[in-house]
Structure 1
Amino acid sequence: MNQHEFDKLLEKYLAGDGDAEEEKLIWEWQDNMLKNSRVLLNSDEKEAIKNRLWSRIYNSTIGHGEEETTVASGKGLTILKWGIAALLVMGLANIFLLLKDKKTETVADAATVAQASDIEVKNTSTSDSEIKLEDGTVVRLKKNSSISYPKHFGKYTRNVYLKGEAFFKVKRDPNAPFIVHTGDLVTEVLGTSFNVKSYENSKAIEVSVTSGRVSVYELTEKASDKKNGVILTPNQKVVFDKSSKKITPGIVANPVALSNAVTKIDFVFEDTPLPVVLQKLKDVYGIEIIMENQDLNQCAITADLNDLPLFTQLELICRTVNARFEQRGTSFFVSGEGCK
């Protein structure tokens, strides 16, 4: 359940239309907020936060004589609707400040301090290091890179923090998105394989996709802020400029055939119409190829393009039909005078 879905659920519940199952989800969300925080808090401190929070909510609502909302709950609290609404207003950072011995922590501190239970792996060798996470996800960590993650993932999200470069083969879980944090850029998936390159001394972060779909967006301070981001599919990538915050989509350097393409790929063409040839490339690599000049429809290709990379295939095709190709974002555009 993402933030938008939760907000809708809360609105429904506050209007008195929620059922027992939805009430349970709201309680679990409240517990999950503290369980998955990245601030150094032990179980006693987290319980103290909740007790002090509910006390403050009671004193400012029911305790001041406002109308009480009855909730049938085994937890013995009759102010759930007030409480959850207050949680949204106060925000997680303010909840942390309820503990006096934590009052010196800032919001920035909360985002960067790792939990005591976090695991950090650094690859100082000269080769890749393979890590298998508890959910079945496999991470291939490149040299001079590090990754940190909680000992146990939360129920609704799976967050990891990367410095450097890693290839992820994520175990699919529709209920818990897998989220890779790299500075100001977030990469979110349900189950797929992709590569993230984010070295501290680099001016940009790069995310490229091998399979599935990946959502890449800029981290914002508020969940309600409009996100600067894109959806990537196989053989696509984005480059995020750390300084300008600009996200530039593109195509990976060496596109590979999609896993769902035909088992044996035959790139031998005999007097084959150009549109048919280009459609074959599109089907195999999953990349849009657009002909800008309809005169090119009359061209035919006779060639053996097996065992050649996509860029070379396109170069040879265009030379044959007096055309040229250009990459724009995540697509190729073919133009030229055509065959006469």
Structure 2
Amino acid sequence: MNQFDFDIVLQKYLSGEQSPDEEKFINEYLENNPFNESPVFEIEKEKIGKRIKQKLYTDTIREPAYIRFLPWIKGIAASILILLGSWGFLKKSEYSDVLKLETLGNQGVVEIKNTSKKPQRVVLEDGSIVILKEKSSISFPEHFGDERRLVYLHGEAFFKVKRNPAKPFVVSTENLVTQVLGTSFTIKSYDDARSIEVLVATGRVSVYEVADKASSNSNGVILTRNQKIIFDKKSKKMELAIVENPVINRSEIRVAYGFTFLETPVKETFSLLEKAYGIDIVIENDAVEACKFTGDLTDLSLFEQLDLICKSLNATYERRGTTLFVRGEGCSK
């Protein structure tokens, strides 16, 4: 059996989906494997226990409901898989999709590092989901406290937070703190980057600067869906903007026939886009506001929709912060 086949069988064994023959193979392998008696195996027991605990926090395939405690022999199987990854039988390449988990000190803090080449899914104790990007890490308590759910991030991650008004969810980075009750958002905070970005997909997010020890003031802002903030680490300035690919919130708007318009006043057209994306659109002159629009905007992105509308109106639009401004000569009579 080659490395790939063994890996598949062992993963099936760990998840309880093995066939009788596969279970027999793994059990015999565990009994006969020389690593069981290796001094190195004994030395690594503590580290292995911590790595096995990773399965309680991460699962890139199944929902949390499918994660279960496994018998000790399956824990040994997982241990051997990790050990052999270093010692030859199942030697992994540097591209192995492995999340490293360690319990740091006596604080009961869990750290997860994504050393793979693709995003990894992490399920937190409260049911919140984190999509951890490559070369990124998060750390958090084994058990969240009574007042808040605190997570530290280095790098980039998307968060889908389980709503709990009584216990805010807080993400701390090098310079910024992001606090929510229940929403989804992305944070980009790489140590070697000049700026930090927070992008909101749904809900409302409070973002504020980590206050200087000598000052009680902190720079902060409230973000809503399809908005982002860019924080310059050097100048300490926050720039509000619209995300590059705004997404429609279909729970708040129902478009019976898609974005199809027939001689619709442009003010109504923009009003529908505002509601769909949660973004303010300001018409700066009456010449444009008096126009009507006919066209099909279905399946186009927001900015493609705006390009098409403005082209038909002899108008242009400009992004200023989190607002779009439209102006132009107006439609031909």
The TM-score range, normalised by the shorter chain, is 0.5 to 0.7
- Are the structure 2 counterparts of residues 114 and 315 from structure 1 closer, same or farther at C-alpha, using a change threshold of 3 Å? farther
Determine if the alignment matches structure 1 residue 326 to structure 2 residue 326.
no
CA distance in 1, matches of 2:237, 2:259: 37
Q: Report if the CA contact (8 A) 1:204-1:239 is conserved.
A: yes
SS at match of 2:319: strand
Cα displacement (A) at 1:179: 0.7
1:243 alignment counterpart? 234
Of 265, 269, 274, 1:273 maps to: 265
Cα displacement (A) at 1:223: 10
Cα displacement (A) at 1:116: 2.9
1:307 alignment counterpart? 299
Of 120, 124, 132, 1:141 maps to: 132
Determine if the alignment matches structure 1 residue 262 to structure 2 residue 250.
no
Paired AA for residue 157 in structure 2:
A
- Are the structure 2 counterparts of residues 239 and 114 from structure 1 closer, same or farther at C-alpha, using a change threshold of 3 Å? farther
TM-score, length basis structure 1: 0.65
1:64 alignment counterpart? none
Q: Report if the CA contact (8 A) 2:161-2:183 is conserved.
A: yes
Of 277, 289, 303, 1:297 maps to: 289
Of 185, 202, 226, 1:194 maps to: 185
Paired AA for residue 275 in structure 1:
K
SS at match of 1:202: coil
CA distance in 2, matches of 1:122, 1:267: 43
2:142 alignment counterpart? 151
Structure 1 gaps of 5+ residues are 1-112
Cα displacement (A) at 1:226: 2.6
What does residue range 94-173 of structure 1 map to in structure 2 within 5 Å?
Answer: 116-173=107-164
SS at match of 2:273: helix
CA distance in 1, matches of 2:312, 2:183: 37
Residues 145-196 of structure 1 show CA distances to partners (whole Å, capped at 9, x for unaligned) of 1000011111111111000100001111112111101101110001111000
SS at match of 2:116: coil
SS at match of 1:248: strand
Q: Report if the CA contact (8 A) 2:167-2:181 is conserved.
A: yes
2:170 alignment counterpart? 179
1:283 alignment counterpart? 275
Structure 2 gaps of 5+ residues are 1-103
What does residue range 7-18 of structure 1 map to in structure 2 within 5 Å?
Answer: none
CA RMSD of aligned residues (A): 1.7
CA distance in 2, matches of 1:289, 1:114: 52
SS at match of 1:174: coil
Once the two structures are aligned, what percentage of the paired residues are identical?
Answer: 53
Q: How many residues align?
A: 228
Paired AA for residue 172 in structure 1:
R
- Are the structure 2 counterparts of residues 115 and 270 from structure 1 closer, same or farther at C-alpha, using a change threshold of 3 Å? farther
CA distance in 1, matches of 2:154, 2:293: 47
Paired AA for residue 189 in structure 1:
V
CA distance in 1, matches of 2:214, 2:265: 50
Determine if the alignment matches structure 1 residue 335 to structure 2 residue 314.
no
1:212 alignment counterpart? 203
Cα displacement (A) at 1:300: 0.7
Cα displacement (A) at 1:337: 1.8
CA distance in 2, matches of 1:271, 1:236: 31
Q: Report if the CA contact (8 A) 1:115-1:150 is conserved.
A: no
Residues 182-211 of structure 1 show CA distances to partners (whole Å, capped at 9, x for unaligned) of 101110001111000111111000000011
Residues 74-127 of structure 1 show CA distances to partners (whole Å, capped at 9, x for unaligned) of xxxxxxxxxxxxxxxxxxxxxxxxxxxxxxxxxxxxxxx976310000001111
SS at match of 1:280: helix
CA distance in 2, matches of 1:114, 1:311: 49
CA distance in 2, matches of 1:115, 1:123: 23
SS at match of 1:319: helix
Q: Report if the CA contact (8 A) 2:264-2:292 is conserved.
A: yes
1:229 alignment counterpart? 220
Residues 297-321 of structure 1 show CA distances to partners (whole Å, capped at 9, x for unaligned) of 2101111111111111101111101
